[in-house]
Amino acid sequence: MRYAAPVPLKRPFLKWAGGKTKLVPAIREFVPAGTRRLIEPFIGSGAVALNLALPMAILADANADLISVYRELQQGGEKFVAACAALFTPSANESAVYYTRRAEFNASSNRRRKAGLFIYLNRHGYNGLCRYNASGGFNVPFGRYKAPRFPRDELHAFHAVLQNCELRHADFRDVLAEAGEGDFVYCDPPYVPASATANFTAYAKGAFGKLEQADLAACCRVAARRGATVVLSNHDTPGTRALYADADQQRELLVGRRISCHAANRGAARELLVVYRPSRLLV
């Protein structure tokens, strides 16, 4: 018997804590045949949207800077890519230039320039982190990489996907409220802590605590009752298993962790994939 070769996975143009490229093959298994629309309320670097490439999508995130980058790429195309490329010169890989540009990013109200700077900061900053201080200023230190690469091909690939997408700067509750029959929803929220010290919650202003995790579980259930297929990933902890005890399926997965400042945390992490299938019983 001959098996089809696996489709190579595309990489997003942004480095992002909790990027889900490695989970794509497992997530893809749950996409019902004939699905027309993907809804991702926690888009991050967009690894899943990029690789599922469904005919339509709503891509959303609470991080306004991130959604602004996607809007500029969606509308500006090659012109925007060229403006970003101009920021990636060898002389720009210096801490003085980095900190000048970081200050410019925090002060700027020019959307296109700010979006280009976001990509520059993402590739030249420490560990590709996206972190803000209490006043909302981006505060990631210089990353000291040898030669940050300009992700031209990755930007082109994402630009193609964005042509059929609606972008939303929104809270997950508002986005999930739109999910219904025929939609495939993938939720990749900030992780519940895997240990007392682990913390992946500083992506956007405002914390993502127990209340948000519980609200999210409730929104997923309701979306499935309206006819959507919902897949969610989070750390595999007793708390996550309990929160999603009523899901149609729970599948554990081992994934490599790429962004962590602690070498000990960079190994494989246990994740739980939770699936709610469409059920119209309670509506």
Residues forming the site for ligand SAM (CB under 6 A): 16, 18-20, 41-42, 44-45, 47-48, 61-63, 171-172, 188-190, 203-204, 208, 212
Q: Which is nearer to ligand SAM, 76 or 128 (CB)?
A: 128
Q: Given the structure tokens 């690789």, which residue do they identify?
A: 51
CA 265 to chain centre: 20
Beta bridge partners of 59: 40, 167
**Least distance from ligand SAM to the Cβ atom of residue 2, Å:** 32
> How many whole angstroms separate alpha carbon 32 and alpha carbon 184?
8
Shortest-Cβ-distance residue relative to ligand SAM: 44
The three-state DSSP-derived secondary structure of 52-115 is HCCCEEEEEECCHHHHHHHHHHHHHHHHHHHHHHCCCCHHHCCHHHHHHHHHHHHHCCCHHHHH
Q: Which is nearer to ligand SAM, 48 or 119 (CB)?
A: 48
Q: Which is nearer to ligand SAM, 47 or 121 (CB)?
A: 47
- Helix spans in the chain (H): 24-28, 47-52, 64-85, 95-107, 111-124, 152-162, 172-176, 210-225, 238-243
Q: Which is nearer to ligand SAM, 82 or 268 (CB)?
A: 268
Sort strands 165-169 and 183-187 into parallel, antiparallel or unpaired: unpaired
Q: Which pair of structure tokens corresponds to residue 10?
A: 């595309």
Instruction: Write the CB contacts of 134 (distance below 8 Å, at least 6 apart in sequence).
Output: none
Q: Which is nearer to ligand SAM, 203 or 276 (CB)?
A: 203
**Least distance from ligand SAM to the Cβ atom of residue 69, Å:** 12
**Least distance from ligand SAM to the Cβ atom of residue 38, Å:** 12
CA-based end-to-end distance of the chain: 45
**Least distance from ligand SAM to the Cβ atom of residue 50, Å:** 9
Q: Which is nearer to ligand SAM, 67 or 81 (CB)?
A: 67
